Amino acid sequence: MPQPTVLITGGAGFLGSHLCERFLAEGAEVICMDNLVTGDLRNVEHLFGEPRFHFQHQDVTEYIHVPGKLDYVLHFASPASPIDYLELPIQTLKVGSLGTHKALGLAHAKGARFLIASTSECYGDPLVHPQTEDYWGNVNPVGPRGVYDEAKRFAEAMTMGYHRYHGVQTRIVRIFNTYGPRMRLNDGRALPAFMGQALRGEDLTVFGDGSQTRSFCYVDDLIEGIHRLLHSDEVLPTNIGNPAEMTILEFAEKVIELTGSRSKITHKPLPQDDPKVRQPDISKARRVLGWEPTVKLDDGLKRTLDYFRGRVEEQAAK
């Protein structure tokens, strides 16, 4: 039986690179497409010697050409952190709209199954807690985060349009806060920021009073959930994340304890539209996919710490 061919856009990014590894381990032919705006070749360079791995340097908002057969298209290309939204607002909107259109068009032409990486940001600053897939969200379309939130909401609508009109087999995963090796040290999200600061002996910056909550899922658990969703029959959006909720202040204290740092905690004003709560309801994932996270936070953080320690040492040596 021939092995499947998988295209992963944003394949040199944090999540994309882990997906490349997962499909290669299963014997698939993997095409990793990335324009390296926020992706990093170091995330996939260990795969370059693998004959079934192919890297294509390309912007998915342009015309996409992939010769031969394609069985799956996983669209993970997008800036994905608050710093990125501020620095790359137009690119963020384009990859969610034009990029999704191009990737869906390719899937349609090839008869491939399509999976879009959507986000818990579709729920905005939620008025429903925890967040279920049938909640339509509370998003400020003209705020600084709107370029990402609305790009992903549009991408979901486009995906369902291709499913309903063209009959494309589509899947939508709404990803909640995820952490693990290969996150960018300077991407502005809580975990890289806290670990970087703690390892450098700097004070940890907590925005607001730190009472806002997040739910952190280790990357291996997330990849397993995405894999199960891709191979399921579920068409409508599905939350994949860890429902174990904690405050940002508690998370900062945990990082200080884990690193053995003498860092203190300082506070800065809360950014505009920063969600006050974030917790996935994963009842659907449990029921439909038989999935739930298995990696405990302490275990996942220890695995992630080794990676960030290397990155901080590398940065200090420059």
Side chain identity, residue 226: I
In angstroms, the CA 70 to CA 74 distance is 11
In angstroms, the CA 208 to CA 204 distance is 13
For residue 270, the model assigns a pLDDT of 86
Backbone angles phi, psi at 137, to 5 degrees: 95, 170
Backbone angles phi, psi at 53, to 5 degrees: -110, 130
For residue 85, the model assigns a pLDDT of 85
In angstroms, the CA 156 to CA 161 distance is 9
CB 249 within 8 A of CB 265: yes
In angstroms, the CA 28 to CA 280 distance is 31
Q: Which is nearest to 243 in space by CA: 272, 205, 217?
A: 217
The angle, 0 to 180 degrees and rounded to 10, between the axes of the packed helices 297-317 and 190-199 is 60
Residue ranges, CATH 3.90.25.10, the chain: 183-214+244-279+295-317
Fold of 183-214+244-279+295-317: UDP-galactose 4-epimerase; domain 1 (3.90.25)
Predicted TM-score (pTM) of the model is 0.96
The angle, 0 to 180 degrees and rounded to 10, between the axes of the packed helices 190-199 and 248-259 is 40
For residue 51, the model assigns a pLDDT of 97
Q: Which is nearest to 33 in space by CA: 14, 4, 13?
A: 13
Residue ranges, CATH 3.40.50.720, the chain: 5-178+218-240
Beta carbons within 10 angstroms of residue 132's beta carbon: 15
For residue 186, the model assigns a pLDDT of 85
Q: Which is nearest to 35 in space by CA: 72, 71, 67, 64?
A: 64
Backbone angles phi, psi at 183, to 5 degrees: -65, 150
Beta carbons within 10 angstroms of residue 160's beta carbon: 17
**Beta strand spans in the chain (E):** 5-9, 29-34, 53-57, 72-75, 113-119, 170-175, 178-179, 204-207, 213-215, 217-218, 238-240, 245-247, 265-268
Spell out the residues 6+ positions from residue 240 whose beta carbon is closer than 8 angstroms to its own. Answer: 173, 174, 175, 176, 217, 222, 225, 226, 229, 280, 282, 285, 291
For residue 155, the model assigns a pLDDT of 98
For residue 274, the model assigns a pLDDT of 82
Residues of the chain with pLDDT under 70: 1
Which of 72, 123, 148, 179 is flagged as catalytic?
A: 148
In angstroms, the CA 87 to CA 149 distance is 15
In angstroms, how far is CA 226 from the centroid of its own chain?
A: 11
Backbone angles phi, psi at 13, to 5 degrees: -85, -175
Q: Is 148 a catalytic residue?
A: yes
Question: Residues in the chain, how many?
Answer: 318
Task: Quote the tokens at residue 151.
Answer: 């790009």
For residue 318, the model assigns a pLDDT of 77
Fold of 5-178+218-240: Rossmann fold (3.40.50)
Backbone angles phi, psi at 5, to 5 degrees: -110, 130
Question: Measuring CA to CA, how many Å separate 253 from each of 195, 264, 270, 305?
Answer: 11, 9, 18, 15
